[in-house]
Structure 1
């Protein structure tokens, strides 16, 4: 299959990734016959991880307060020792690149309201809030918790937290207080920064009551900083609280606190759909290096870019987008439903603000396709040069729709990584072509292989387990409250000791591109043949009659195997099950055809929009729903209840 998009040679040579390869050659660190050859650069990057990440730090001029003694002192997983002796501060790096009068952060609300701060204002405000945190007794390693919508204040507060060496953690205001406490209470934060409300779907959601409840659920909390969000006043209320205005008026810190390379920067949480959310601890240095590479080299992000990724504070992409500040870019936040006031809301935002790097999900592309949008015809998207896609598998039909209805000029870069490394394992780059339904290549510094269940590397094109065979500096330092790293080892290293198993059913093609079929623990294994759920979603992705879908393969106690496909209709076609089944047979194969196509009014997801394949499979097998899914982490508990009821009725009728 030929590439459907190829880089313009002149533009590729002007990219930062080619500048990096050229610098490596000029410095005598590497030898490439062609500095635009991505495969050669990627192969070099994983052959000696210490040399690669040391080169990244030097190329991007990492500002060491104390130089490290080495790059990679202990090359093992888990427990790699990166840049021992080195000290730095991530917050300082976030503030150093942008021009003083340039917009650093722009916030667009669902109602179109715009607010922004410049880099000069960001530096001033972050220093003041950092001073307030210090005055409140926040010490290095103390936790600062955020309960805010997507807002400018959240960015300022995160940078301020990093400046003083405290540890950042957050949930969005859409989480109810008990669900937020499931995450935050583990950390025993010293300070809580709490908002008052947010707008979503044309409605104002007042969360002041939940914020008060959350304060009572956090052990050891000493102080709350209240922020007025969503247009709702948020008075401080009591001696143990103060306002955001008080924080901005505080005496600023004189500079950032140097901390060790592996000093905790933030705690990110797993989705928590199948149990208590696990807190993943990442360090200042590891995040810094990963976020220099992923947006800096793979997305070619620079100071003249407007960088927008649709996300919420509940998803690691919020953290990754904020790291656009490392490159002096303007980061664009959106607070609201992505399809409000209309299905083209995000495309209009991109056009109005001249967005150059736009991040979205396969779901939004599919929704745009179903809505019959013509963004390339109806809007001025001439500033766009890259649309990044992550969050789930991108079907090949979405690539085709994008070329025909958005732009054949713009690169559609699919990528995958995760909260685990707050970065990427596989991705595109300015020097890689695009093939429909495939991710361009393993990422720089990511030693990606595909193994069989018995730990043998499989031939090209064969599906298997995605593994990472070399350490990366942004891998978790640890899980929160995990003595002996038991949970961490069980999560990533129990299957293949010393090798990271990511949990994706994956194949690497003969040409080196990557195909992800879905989570390996949700793999459909029908009559001994492994099928990826993504193949089924891909087959029906452009059916206008299907608004959403969920497929699971259920091993049954009697030895049978049931493959149901739940679909949410768009409209009310009476023959929808037959249409869906025919399309899957035509586009995939007869063995992919579901046993039953079950029409449901709606489907539940995680709060970051991911399908609940594994929990639903276990419920259909008869597991106690309360043991396999946390309702507080589900976007639509009523939709979950309807599937639980359907499972009970099926078992009762057997």
Structure 2
């Protein structure tokens, strides 16, 4: 069994929202839950009862009545939730209208600012009024090509308050990346900015915007937020462009007429990474997203009114949507726009100290880079308010867990979380009741009937297999855009195990309820017919001082597959025979002989998506001389040329 790194004390457990909700369930249904695992089992065998009780517990504002929580719990996809119930997503995020801080912003491009819940409501009221006057209504698409700033959240709340459907990309997306997404959904309103700042460098967007807006034929208006240039003239970008400040000053609306929408009303359009073709446009419901994200905020992350929660994200990653939902709890959310290591590796920890951040969200990649930087936050910053660290984006290694407890804070809940853009939430994540075991996610999400299947579709434990979900959940996509017969939706999740969601992650569920993520199933290595998760190799290689980064793929060879490891060397190091042998010995000793790469090659960099996920599939295609169809989905597509036509890959 893995080592326990953290254990909640009685006070931590007793004061948690999870404990209060368990007491509500115990009282209502006359059951007892000695452990989280008992509560989880109840939640997946009483799915309708769970969601109905949580709807009440979270005090979600709704109208109307419903005949049933879910019409057919055995139908997936296609189950209908809370038919007859109506709500408005933005109304539930704007329930507090007081002087408590709602949003705190820090970044490279402008001085820090904060908004109270009262001021947030006022800004949204004026913008929502303007959008209505412009003719925007339920079902219209409103898009944003924006940085992670308060105006983006205000725009989302204004749009969804009147029933419009929201979609966003961050400004680091290139023209083709934006058009691959917005070109499919054809928004009527586009929020954008004149540029952004990254590592103290201004990136001007004006020329890119002129080209993008000329191709979006359905746009009625473009609203420009001056971000790097306060004097920017909006009409220089497009004749129908107006300045954001002028829009807010155009009316004195002080109340919001919230559009009452069906539970399954389209709220968000989210996108797949697009690394294997045109991004899939996943339409998600207002009720489903609100219900599931509040479950994760209130129960699993234990967010309360006095919390200050931060997640390092952009508007092109689902964690932006997830973080924004914390407004429904009345907590303060922190936005940061800039490089996480500029001007130095302590920038986010200084912010955590100064703002009293209680929940700090980041990625496994950031934690690995922080360790490599030599920064030891606990020695330089006062992190006494920090209660929880969240990590996602890729598997967090055992060494990453140890680094957090050794160099950041020893008394902190490290909640590694995993799910996807597809559900805008988590299949496995933390909870305030269970211990943290090294290398493990604390448990599966409540009312998410998650299992691990072998290749024949049989449930397995303490073995590696496919992450599946065997019952519907409210935040499933309601449909894919431009997929009228549902073929693309079905192919994405249900073509392997009929009627069962296959997520595409290679995992293990352990007897203690913990979950280990080994990487993506389609990137799984298969030497000699034995499946190996890529994270098994990354966690060993990337601990070496000589290695800055790495990526590993399988190469078809002699009617089988061999493991090929590409490494980016750290400054001052070269890949020679000594280091190659050191890598092989470490992998053999810490993993197994099957994990040892047949070939190890150096490259100048590792390709990532715009959301900073390694793209093993793109590299695998390159080394097999297959085309990579959508390089604009990558943050550094130019690096792929370093993997092409390597003579070493033709040698035995």
What SS does the corresponding residue of 1:538 show, helix, strand or coil? helix
What SS does the corresponding residue of 2:6 show, helix, strand or coil? coil
Aligned to 2:85: 86
Aligned to 2:494: 493
Aligned to 1:152: 150
2:542–2:550: 8 Å Cα contact kept in structure 1? Answer: no
Aligned to 1:378: 380
1:202 aligned onto 2:200: yes
Partner of residue 271 from structure 1, selected from 270, 273, 276: 273
For 1:52-201, list aligned pairs within 5 A.
52-75=50-73, 76-97=75-96, 100-110=98-108, 113-201=111-199
Aligned to 2:348: 346
- Supply the distance in 1 between the matched residues of 2:5 and 2:441 (Cα, whole angstroms): 12
Aligned to 2:6: 5
Aligned to 1:51: 49
| Higher deviation after alignment, 230-239 or 605-614 | 230-239
Pairwise CA distance, 1:33: 4.5
- Supply the distance in 2 between the matched residues of 1:349 and 1:213 (Cα, whole angstroms): 37
1:640 aligned onto 2:644: no
- Supply the distance in 2 between the matched residues of 1:178 and 1:520 (Cα, whole angstroms): 28
Aligned to 1:583: 586
- Supply the distance in 2 between the matched residues of 1:351 and 1:233 (Cα, whole angstroms): 34
TM-score (norm 1): 0.96
Deviations 1:308-353 (A, max 9, x none): 0000111000100111101111111111111111122222221121
Deviations 1:222-274 (A, max 9, x none): 11111111345432216522211122124435421100000000101111111
- Supply the distance in 1 between the matched residues of 2:124 and 2:95 (Cα, whole angstroms): 12
Partner of residue 607 from structure 2, selected from 604, 607, 616: 604
Unaligned runs of 5+ in 2: none
- Supply the distance in 2 between the matched residues of 1:94 and 1:38 (Cα, whole angstroms): 28
2:604–2:642: 8 Å Cα contact kept in structure 1? Answer: no
- Supply the distance in 2 between the matched residues of 1:231 and 1:297 (Cα, whole angstroms): 42
2:525–2:553: 8 Å Cα contact kept in structure 1? Answer: yes
Aligned to 1:18: 19
Unaligned runs of 5+ in 1: none
Deviations 1:273-329 (A, max 9, x none): 111011111111001101111111110011111110000111000100111101111
Aligned to 1:225: 223
Deviations 1:564-606 (A, max 9, x none): 1111111233443233222212221222111122121111100
- Supply the distance in 1 between the matched residues of 2:57 and 2:33 (Cα, whole angstroms): 20
1:149–1:229: 8 Å Cα contact kept in structure 2? Answer: no
What SS does the corresponding residue of 2:526 show, helix, strand or coil? strand
- Supply the distance in 2 between the matched residues of 1:53 and 1:187 (Cα, whole angstroms): 31
Aligned to 1:244: 244
What SS does the corresponding residue of 1:552 show, helix, strand or coil? strand
1:196–1:232: 8 Å Cα contact kept in structure 2? Answer: no
Deviations 1:69-95 (A, max 9, x none): 221112210001100011000000000
Q: 1:141 to 1:30 in 2, by over 3 A?
A: farther
| Higher deviation after alignment, 363-372 or 78-87 | 363-372
Aligned to 1:564: 564
- Supply the distance in 2 between the matched residues of 1:608 and 1:378 (Cα, whole angstroms): 29
What SS does the corresponding residue of 2:517 show, helix, strand or coil? strand
- Supply the distance in 2 between the matched residues of 1:231 and 1:19 (Cα, whole angstroms): 49
- Supply the distance in 2 between the matched residues of 1:217 and 1:652 (Cα, whole angstroms): 44
Count of aligned pairs: 643
1:542 aligned onto 2:543: yes
For 1:446-595, list aligned pairs within 5 A.
446-458=448-460, 460-556=461-557, 558-574=558-574, 575-595=578-598
Q: CA RMSD for the aligned pairs?
A: 1.6
Deviations 1:18-68 (A, max 9, x none): 000011122x2351143xx21111111111211111111011111112222
- Supply the distance in 1 between the matched residues of 2:244 and 2:84 (Cα, whole angstroms): 36
Partner of residue 214 from structure 1, selected from 208, 212, 215: 212
Deviations 1:113-133 (A, max 9, x none): 312211111100111111111
2:423–2:476: 8 Å Cα contact kept in structure 1? Answer: yes
Partner of residue 444 from structure 2, selected from 442, 445, 463: 442
Pairwise CA distance, 1:651: 6.2
Partner of residue 295 from structure 2, selected from 286, 289, 293: 293
1:617 aligned onto 2:617: no
- Supply the distance in 2 between the matched residues of 1:461 and 1:189 (Cα, whole angstroms): 47
Pairwise CA distance, 1:177: 2.0
- Supply the distance in 2 between the matched residues of 1:230 and 1:581 (Cα, whole angstroms): 48
Deviations 1:191-225 (A, max 9, x none): 11111111112211111111121111112111111
Aligned to 1:313: 315
Deviations 1:370-423 (A, max 9, x none): 111110111011110000000000101111111111111001111101101001
Aligned to 1:322: 324
